[in-house]
Chains A and B, each alone.
Chain A
Amino acid sequence: MQQLVNTALGGITLGMVFAAFALALVMIWRSTRIVNFAQAAMAMVTTMLALSLIERGWSYWAAFLAALATGFVLGAVIERTLVRRVEGGPELNAVILTLGLFIVLTAGAEIVFGSDYRSFPVPFSLSGTEIGGTTYALTGFDIFTVVAVLVTMGLLLALFQFTDIGLRMRAAAHQQEVARLLGVKVGRMLTLGWALAAVVGSLSGLLIGGGSLVHPHYMESVVVFGFVAAVLGGLDSPAGAVVGGLLLGVTLSFVSGYVGSGLVALAALVVLVVVLMVRPGGLFSATTARRV
């Protein structure tokens, strides 16, 4: 029973991080119809930067904010200088561009930060929570993770639903021509969308790395899992991304604990294929299947 609960708890924490990552993918997809395969590498770079700052004596929170700010700038710069050139072009070019960025950022990080495994400290307890004499695998940092992701989602929802700039961003994403006619600076909105998505991606990087070991490849599995989570919910649906992330996190945790840790990626593939075969647009999408 305790194992069951602990495995589930581990899965939920992991799932929240996948959800954040998937959410960032969805934000970019909705605005520019691009899946950003470089997102994991971008998050890795900002997290490694935060760790370097902490090792130089910065406080966790200062480094945390610095990483998010760097993510914002990185996202904006990448959109403005590179992605802009392939937006609206062939799908294939955009995919390959982001893959190329993935390779560049990973190799660059190995050169700049080195390839050592380093521990990423957090200002939270790493001990589990004791309830009625049994310890459950819910650490202070796990709680922070869940709260941070929930707060971020709330903020994004508020931004898009209740603010003027959010409205403009939505308009730019969905009805570019109309938005342009109405005086929305579409290009600027798209840049902002990428920047915000990169902030959310960076957050997921900080949450995965925190209290564990980080190195330039630590986000590599998340490239796949984050994508699977996003597709599970439908690339168009922010709510779907969250549900997809949680589902995947719990599934993978149980596969690792009860079947075999080597099969985690295979389980993700099976989940992905089944969902795509049954509902090619994801669980939360109304898109019809492509005819064969």
Chain B
Amino acid sequence: MTNKQRAPWVVRSTTAAVGLLAGTLVLAGCGAGGREDGGDEPAEAGSTVGVTDDSIKVGAHYPLTGVAAPGYSEIPTGAQAYFDYVNANGGVYGRQIDYLVRDDAYDPSQTTSVTDELVLQEEIFAMLGGLGTPTHRAVVDTLNEEEVPDLFVSSGSLQWGDDPEAKPWTFGWQPDYEIEGKVIGQYISENLPDAKVGLFLQDDDFGADGEKGVRQYLDSQIVSVQKYTSGNTDVGPQVAALQADGADLVIAFDTPAYTALTQLVSLSLGYSPQWFYSNVGSDPTLVGGLLSNFSEGAVEGSSSSLDGVLTTEYIPGVDAPDDPWVQLWQKVWDENGSDGDLTNYRIYGMSQAYTFVQALFAAGEDLTREGLRDAVEEQGGDFAGPNLAPYRFSADSHMGIAGMRVVQLSGGKGEAQTDILVTDIGDAEITTDDSGQADDAPPESGIPE
């Protein structure tokens, strides 16, 4: 191959390049030109991205795969069932709710990419119930910058609601981990003042917020703090350390798979402290299901495997089939649910979806993003619903449910150990709730007005 043969191609491509450059510059000159002054469109009343006359597009990110998937992956199936129910009954002001769920595998970088997809490509109206502290944290600023309503994050981290000025579009939903820690701490300091307390914490804000709350009441009783990394399923060394430090009561802020793992490891270590799992990690049906497979009587199967364990409760669950809310959820699930039984995770999804529909109605017929945000801030504090304690929503706080009660599991059922206790973050006192929120019953139609 000599140079001569190559030359024509080189010249041609160079000419083409120069031509292209010149052409684009000319085009640009004609087409766009300089910026015009004062050409801004008049400000609209509000953003209606994702809303049409007959539909509302809502997005969510959940771990449908990976270590956090057991249990949590059921939440969106519950929400979907409730939305199907609402859609079948005429929707919200005639609009059908179009609910898009994306899997992020509980990996913050995947949350970023699926959120980009939901916001930029699918152009959702709002994000609902995005799950997880590390995951949702990766996208919360994006959502606020894009001014997408980010309602009812499925995580109890403080950051969703404690600074509405910095995150005007984000709202929490479940009680935050700090007040859960406070309620747990006070309960133990009052009822088990001699317990030597160990903490088993997920190594992120989930564990840190919980620890902060617990330490307000229990600082002197804590003898050991162990942290696990989500994804590393070998928790033997951590549990062995709790045992070695002499903890006879372990408070765990963990996810359900790790509850199962701690139970397994304790068995092999012959370690039997009083366990106090945070609400997040304590579902007896799920943990029992994970454990039930280990046969030969090694671990008792079914939901009774967590007997005697303490935990907290802020919405009625499957263990209270006579509760009017649970009866509604059962009806919704029977009519619209996918495979499987009604579970506490599905109830969680339905309860959240119920609050969302409530907020949509409160925002009125001319739905805008701003209208939805204002409606939650102005009326959210008075929303009736399955939540045992009222929401704390206001212009100054976007924190969710204000309290919970301590329960002890027995045969898969929670037996109440306290009244409904309400408080707030920081050094707010813990008081008994007198709002009567827990006595709400759902409307006849099952749809909020």
In the assembled complex, the CB of A251 is this many whole angstroms from the nearest CB of chain B, namely 12
Question: B241, A126: Cβ atoms under 8 Å?
Answer: no
Contact A261 B238 (CB under 8 A): yes
In the complex, chain B residues whose CB is within 8 Å of the CB of A123: 295-296
The residue from A10, A117, A138, A142 contacting B69, defined by CB atoms under 8 A apart? A117
A154 at the interface (CB under 8 A from B): no
Q: Which of B188-196, B209-217, B266-274 contacts A (4 or more CB under 8 A)?
A: B266-274
- Given A3-B241, A125-B298, A127-B268, decide whether A137 and B70 contact each other with a Cβ distance below 8 A: no
Contact with A along B250-287 (1 / 0, CB 8 A): 00000001001100110111110000000000000000
Category for how many chain B residues contact A = 35 or more
Contacts of A128 in B (CB 8 A): 267-270
A105-157 interface with B by 8 A CB criterion? 110, 115-128, 130, 134-139, 142
Contact A117 B257 (CB under 8 A): yes
Q: What is the CB-to-nearest-CB distance from A219 to chain B, in angstroms, rounded to a whole number?
A: 12
Contact with B along A8-30 (1 / 0, CB 8 A): 00100010000000000000000
Contact of B257 among A2, A10, A213 (CB under 8 A): A213
Q: Pick 30 A–B contacts, CB within 8 A, sort by A.
A: A3-B244, A6-B236, A6-B240, A6-B269, A7-B236, A7-B240, A10-B236, A14-B234, A115-B69, A118-B293, A119-B260, A121-B293, A121-B296, A122-B294, A122-B296, A123-B296, A126-B298, A127-B270, A128-B267, A136-B270, A137-B265, A139-B268, A213-B260, A218-B233, A256-B238, A258-B237, A261-B228, A261-B235, A261-B237, A262-B232
**Residue pair B264, A212 in contact (C-beta under 8 Å):** yes
CB < 8 Å neighbour of A117 from B67, B265, B296, B299 = B67
Task: Count A-side interface residues using an 8 Å CB cutoff.
Answer: 44
Is A127 within 8 A of B267, CB to CB? yes
Is the C-beta of B227 less than 8 angstroms from some C-beta in chain A? yes
Chain B residues near A118: list those with CB within 8 A. Answer: 293
Given the contacts A119-B294, A121-B293, A124-B296, A212 and B268 also touching, CB distance less than 8 Å: no
- Contact partners of B234 in chain A: CB under 8 A: 10, 14, 256, 261
Chain A residues positioned under 8 Å from B261 (CB to CB): 212-213
The answer to whether B298 and A10 touch across the interface, beta carbons within 8 angstroms, is no
CB distance from A263 to the nearest CB of B (A): 9
- Which chain A residue has the least Cβ–Cβ distance from B64? A115
CA gap between A257 and B228 in the complex, in Å? 10
Q: How far is the CB of B295 from chain A (nearest CB, A)?
A: 5
Can you name the residue of chain B whose Cβ is closest to the Cβ of A211?
A: B294
Q: When chains A and B are docked, how far (Å) is the Cα of A25 from the Cα of B65?
A: 30
Residues of A near B269 (CB, < 8 A) are 6, 128, 135, 137
**CB atoms of A116 and B69 under 8 A apart:** yes
**B58 at interface by CB-CB < 8 Å:** no
B243 at the interface (CB under 8 A from A): yes
Q: How far is the CB of B226 from chain A (nearest CB, A)?
A: 9
**Shortest beta-carbon distance, A58 to chain B, in Å?**
13
Say if the beta carbon of B145 comes within 8 Å of chain A.
no
Question: Do the beta carbons of B257 and A135 come within 8 Å of each other?
Answer: no
Contacts of B332 in A (CB 8 A): none
From A126, which residue of chain B is reached at the shortest CB distance?
B298
Contact partner of A135 (CB less than 8 A), chosen from B70, B228, B232, B271, is B271
Cα–Cα distance between A121 and B290 once the two chains are bound (Å): 10
Q: Is the CB of B69 within 8 A of A213?
A: no
Query: B260 to chain A: which residues have CB within 8 Å?
Result: 119, 213
A-B interface, 5 closest residue pairs, ranked by CB to CB distance from nearest: A135-B270, A257-B237, A3-B244, A119-B293, A126-B298
Most buried by B among A10, A119, A217, A218: A119
Closest to A2 in B: B244
Task: Tell me which residues across on chain A come within 8 A of B228, comparing CB atoms.
Answer: 261
Q: B270 — nearest CB in chain A belongs to which residue?
A: A135
Is A253 located at the chain interface by the 8 A CB criterion? yes
Q: Tell me if A169 counts as interface (CB < 8 A to partner B).
A: no
A264 within 8 A of B: yes
